[in-house]
Chain A
Amino acid sequence: MLNYDIVIIGGGPAGLAAAVSAKRSGVESILVLERDKELGGILNQCIHNGFGLHTFKEELTGPEYAGRFIEQLLEEKIEYRLNTMVMDIAPNKVVTAMNREDGMFEIQAKAIILAMGCRERSRGALNIPGYRPAGIYSAGTAQRLVNMEGYMPGREVVILGSGDIGLIMARRMTLEGAKVKVVAELMPYSGGLKRNIVQCLDDYGIPLKLSHTVVDIEGKERVEAITIAEVGPDRRPIPGTEERYTCDTLLLSCGLIPENELSRSLEVEMSPVTSGPLVNECLETNVEGVFACGNVLHVHDLVDFVSEEASAAGKHAAEYVKNGAKHAETGAKDIPIVATEGARYTVPKTINPDRMDEKHTVRFRVGDVYKNCYVSVYLNDERVIHKKRPVVAPGEMEEVVLKKEELAAFSGLSQITVKIEEA
Chain B
Amino acid sequence: MYDVVIIGAGVSGSASARELSRYKLNVCVVEKEEDVCCGTSKANSAIVHAGFDAEAGSLMAKLNVEGSQMMEGLSKELDFHYKNNGSLVVCLHEEEKPNLQDLYDRGVKNGVKDLRIIDREELVALEPNISDEAVAALYAPTGGIVCPFGMNIAFAENAATNGVEFKFDTEVTGLEKKDGSWVIKTSQGDIETKYVVNAAGVYADKFHNMVSGKKLHITPRRGDYCLLDRSTEGFVTHTIFQLPSKFGKGVLVTPTVHGNTLIGPTAIDIENKEGTNTTQEGIDELINKAGTTVKGLPIRQVITSFAGLRAHEDGHEFYIGELEDAKGFIDCAGIESPGLSSAPAIGKMVAEIVKDLTNAEENPNFVGTRKGILDPKTLSNEERAELIKKDPAYGNIICRCEMITEGEIIDAIKRPLGAKSLDGVKRRTRAGMGRCQSGFCSPRTIEILARERGVDPAEITKAGGDSKIIVGINKDRI
Binding site for B on A (CB under 8 A): 35, 83, 85, 87, 96, 98-105, 119-120, 122-125, 127, 129-135, 137-138, 140-141, 144-146, 149-155, 176-177, 215-218, 220-222, 237, 248, 261, 264
Question: Most chain-A CB neighbours within 10 Å: which of B231, B384, B397, B458?
Answer: B397
Q: Is the CB of A176 within 8 A of B475?
A: yes
Q: Does B471 contact A (CB under 8 A)?
A: yes
11 contacts between A and B (CB under 8 A): A103-B384, A123-B437, A131-B277, A132-B276, A134-B468, A135-B469, A150-B474, A151-B470, A217-B277, A221-B461, A222-B466
Which chain B residues in 39-56 approach chain A with CB under 8 Å?
Answer: none
Q: Which of B237-245, B340-348, B386-394 contacts A (4 or more CB under 8 A)?
A: B386-394
Task: Determine the main DSSP class of A at the interface with B.
Answer: mixed
Q: Is the CB of A129 within 8 A of B282?
A: yes
The CA-CA distance from A96 to B276 in the complex, in Å, is 42
Q: Does B305 contact A (CB under 8 A)?
A: yes
Q: What band does the interface of chain B fall in when counting residues whose beta carbon is under 8 Å from A?
A: 35 or more
Q: Is the CB of B226 within 8 A of A127?
A: yes
The CA-CA distance from A130 to B306 in the complex, in Å, is 9
Give the chain A neighbours of B303 by CB distance below 8 A. Answer: 122, 124-125
Q: Does B125 contact A (CB under 8 A)?
A: no
Question: Nearest A residue to B421 by beta-carbon distance?
Answer: A134
Q: Is the CB of A99 within 8 A of B474?
A: no
Q: Is the CB of B388 within 8 A of A104?
A: yes
Question: Nearest A residue to B381 by beta-carbon distance?
Answer: A104
Known: A144-B443, A222-B468. A99 touches B277 (CB 8 A): no
The CA-CA distance from A127 to B280 in the complex, in Å, is 8
Q: Is the CB of B440 within 8 A of A119?
A: yes
Question: Nearest B residue to A86 by beta-carbon distance?
Answer: B397
Give the chain A neighbours of B473 by CB distance below 8 A. Answer: 150-152
Give the chain B neighbours of A140 by CB distance below 8 A. Answer: 439
Q: Is the CB of A98 within 8 A of B397?
A: yes
Q: Does B442 contact A (CB under 8 A)?
A: yes
Closest CB in chain A relative to B465 CB, distance in Å? 5
Q: Is the CB of A120 within 8 A of B471?
A: no
Q: Does B70 contact A (CB under 8 A)?
A: no
The CA-CA distance from A220 to B400 in the complex, in Å, is 28
Question: Nearest B residue to A104 by beta-carbon distance?
Answer: B385
Give the chain A neighbours of B396 by CB distance below 8 A. Answer: 83, 99-100
Q: Is the CB of B276 within 8 A of A131?
A: yes
Q: Is the CB of A152 within 8 A of B474?
A: yes
Question: Most chain-B CB neighbours within 10 Å: which of A99, A127, A264?
Answer: A127
Q: Is the CB of A153 within 8 A of B305?
A: no
Q: Does B361 contact A (CB under 8 A)?
A: no
Question: Nearest A residue to B386 by beta-carbon distance?
Answer: A103
Q: Is the CB of B305 within 8 A of A145?
A: no
Q: Does B302 contact A (CB under 8 A)?
A: yes
Q: Is the CB of A248 within 8 A of B471?
A: yes
Q: Does B175 contact A (CB under 8 A)?
A: no
Question: Nearest A residue to B230 by beta-carbon distance?
Answer: A261
Q: Is the CB of B395 within 8 A of A129?
A: no
Q: Is the CB of A152 within 8 A of B226?
A: no
Known: A103-B388, A144-B443. A177 touches B477 (CB 8 A): yes
Which chain B residues in 194-250 approach chain A with CB under 8 Å?
Answer: 226-227, 231
Q: Is the CB of A151 within 8 A of B384?
A: no
Q: Is the CB of B437 within 8 A of A124?
A: yes
User: A98-B397, A150-B473 given. 6 additional CB < 8 A pairs?
Assistant: A35-B397, A103-B395, A129-B282, A151-B458, A152-B471, A221-B463
